[in-house]
Structure 1
Amino acid sequence: MNALRNKVQLIGHLGQDPEIINLDSGKMLAKFSIATNEVYRDANG
């Protein structure tokens, strides 16, 4: 099986404490909200 790994760096402020979820497979999942002040507009405005 091929292992695919990605690295992401997110810069901002956590909106609240992360929520850690234990999955049935034994893996863990972290859910969190992040606030930034970056603005993105597409061709439609």
Structure 2
Amino acid sequence: MLDGRAFLNFAGWKAHVSVYPVPEGDEAFERAVAPYVSGRGT
């Protein structure tokens, strides 16, 4: 959590660790990342 909001999630697996950023932000963030948005699982 960062400032009371989810910032990222992580998962531990047998052979690796995954870090998943939370894909929600404010309007400025959404505009900044819009050119890089692709499918749900990427």
Q: Which of the five TM-score ranges fits, normalised by the shorter chain?
A: 0.3 to 0.5
Larger Rg: 1
- TM-score of the two chains, using structure 2 as the length reference: 0.34
> Which structure shows the bigger proportion of residues in helix conformation?
2
Greater length-normalized contact order (CA 8 Å, ≥ 6 residues apart): 1
Using the size of structure 1 for normalisation, the TM-score is 0.33
